[in-house]
């Protein structure tokens, strides 16, 4: 299935490399510049590592590390030098790249932004993380939904970031928009290892998708990230996985054509279709309603858990952040779509 990690590439294959990048320490503009240069060098390593590679994926926080600093001088803009460097590296090495930036937000806290850039240097996907890892992360909640883009070899690619992948609705949304390959970038540390693995697998199976997921790796002197790059097939089985080796690039050939085939011909466990066509053996076309109270309540703005009164952590003060005073700004149009 993986073509020996993509060494033997099929006509329908998309070879993906997951970079278990060394966790950086970035506290100054000079360190930010040096880390951007290191990421560019790793793009070149990916191409030298494997001539068949179509897409190289860097973890969340690859550029900024895990300090959670929001200093304006460390934040990135889409027209700034760091993104320009990533674009140029993709062009130079004729490869697609997935990158992570902490993006300046003139209206509040920075956004945790993911980018997919093609081999012509064009941003094909722009995504703001919908679910920052509260109460630990200070980032503004994303307000542009879950985008999907056309990827290499006619594939459809979605991107979710770290904690996003713990919500089954996130991968389902990507699949609902057509994603056949769902990328998940993360900065997770070892306590999340088990949940990381099972959610990568379940996100694949529940959506008949292939997932490609990777964390930062190694230590910055304070935090220890786990690497753990892994590819999952549409039935939830693990195609390939890495461990904790810093800067290793885990590779596999993914087959979006098999995803398309399964979504078209599977009867048993065709989960994305059957969600809205339940019981179609008994009733024509199945029941096409929304029996899920939580969905109805979210849309109506009345979502409330039965145990809401007992929930103790409701802001970032346990992690040293001031209680917020601003309200959510609401949706904005995506500049790439």
Q: Which domains does the chain have, with CATH numbers?
A: 3-274 (3.60.110.10)
Residue 2 is predicted with a pLDDT of: 73
184: left (phi > 0), else alpha (psi -120 to 50), else beta?
Answer: beta
Dist CA 276 CA 14 (whole Å): 30
pLDDT (tens digit per residue) in 260-298? 999 999 999 999 999 999 999 999 999 999 999 999 999
Degrees, nearest 5: CA angle 206-152-239: 45
Rg (CA), the chain: 20
Partners of 111 in the β-ladder: 103
Helix (H, G, I), strand (E, B) or coil at 104: coil
Mean pLDDT of 119-143: 98
Q: Which residues neighbour 258 within 8 Å (Cβ) at sequence distance 6 or greater?
A: 234
Confidence of residue 120 (pLDDT cuts 50, 70, 90): very high
pLDDT (tens digit per residue) in 183-218? 999 999 989 999 999 999 999 999 999 999 999 999
List the one residue out of 22, 6, 14 whose CA is nearest residue 59: 22
**Top mean-pLDDT range of 8-12, 188-192, 255-259:** 255-259
List the one residue out of 197, 133, 207, 127 whose CA is nearest residue 160: 127
Rounded to the nearest 5°, which phi and psi values hold at 180? -100, -30
Q: pTM higher than 0.95, yes or no? A: yes
List the one residue out of 282, 283, 262 whose CA is nearest residue 273: 262
Q: What is the largest CA-CA distance in the chain?
A: 65
Q: Which residues are catalytic?
A: 60, 129, 162
DSSP assignment, residue 190?
G
pLDDT (tens digit per residue) in 150-192? 999 999 999 999 999 999 999 999 999 999 999 999 999 989 9
Instruction: Identify how many contiguous H helices and E strands the chain contains and give both numbers.
Output: 8, 14
Residue 282 is predicted with a pLDDT of: 98
Mean pLDDT of 58-72: 97
Mean pLDDT of 97-106: 98
CB atoms within 10 A of CB 221: 7
Q: What percent of the chain has pLDDT over 90?
A: 96
CB atoms within 10 A of CB 85: 17
The mean pLDDT value of the chain amounts to 97
Helix (H, G, I), strand (E, B) or coil at 225: strand
Report residue 210 as tokens.
Answer: 């292939």
List the one residue out of 57, 61, 78 whose CA is nearest residue 14: 57
Q: Which residues neighbour 298 within 8 Å (Cβ) at sequence distance 6 or greater?
A: none
pLDDT (tens digit per residue) in 227-237? 999 999 999 99
The answer, yes or no, to whether residue 1 has pLDDT greater than 70, is: no
């Amino acid at each position: 299935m993986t073509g020996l990690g993509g060494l033997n590439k099929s006509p329908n294959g998309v070879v993906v490399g997951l970079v278990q990048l060394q966790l950086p320490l970035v506290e100054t503009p000079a360190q930010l510049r040096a880390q951007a240069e290191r990421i560019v060098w790793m793009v070149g390593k990916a191409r030298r590592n494997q001539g068949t590679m179509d897409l190289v994926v860097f973890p969340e926080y690859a550029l900024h590390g895990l300090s959670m600093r929001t200093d304006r001088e460390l934040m990135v803009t889409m027209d700034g030098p760091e993104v320009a460097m990533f674009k140029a590296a993709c062009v130079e090495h004729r490869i697609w790249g997935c990158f992570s930036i902490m993006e300046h937000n003139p209206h509040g806290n920075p956004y945790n932004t993911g980018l997919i850039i093609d081999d012509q240097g064009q941003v094909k996907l722009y995504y703001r993380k919908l679910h920052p890892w509260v109460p630990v992360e200070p980032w503004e909640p994303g307000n542009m939904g879950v985008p999907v883009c056309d990827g290499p070899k006619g594939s459809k690619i979605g991107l979710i970031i770290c904690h996003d992948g713990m919500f089954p609705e996130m991968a389902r949304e990507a699949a609902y928009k057509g994603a056949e390959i769902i990328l998940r970038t993360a900065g997770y540390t070892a306590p999340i290892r088990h949940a990381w693995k099972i959610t990568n697998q379940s996100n694949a199976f529940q959506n008949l998708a292939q997932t490609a997921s990777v964390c930062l790796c190694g230590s910055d002197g304070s935090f220890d990230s786990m690497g753990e790059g892994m590819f999952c097939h549409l039935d939830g089985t693990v195609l390939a996985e890495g461990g904790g080796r810093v800067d290793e690039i885990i590779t596999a050939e993914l087959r979006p054509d098999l995803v398309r085939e399964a979504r078209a011909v599977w009867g048993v466990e065709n989960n994305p279709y059957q969600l809205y066509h339940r019981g179609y053996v008994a009733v024509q076309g199945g029941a096409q309603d929304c029996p899920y109270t939580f969905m109805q309540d979210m849309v109506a703005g009345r979502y409330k858990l039965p145990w809401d009164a007992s929930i103790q952590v409701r802001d970032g003060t346990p992690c040293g952040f001031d209680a917020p005073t601003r309200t959510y700004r609401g949706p904005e149009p995506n500049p790439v779509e």
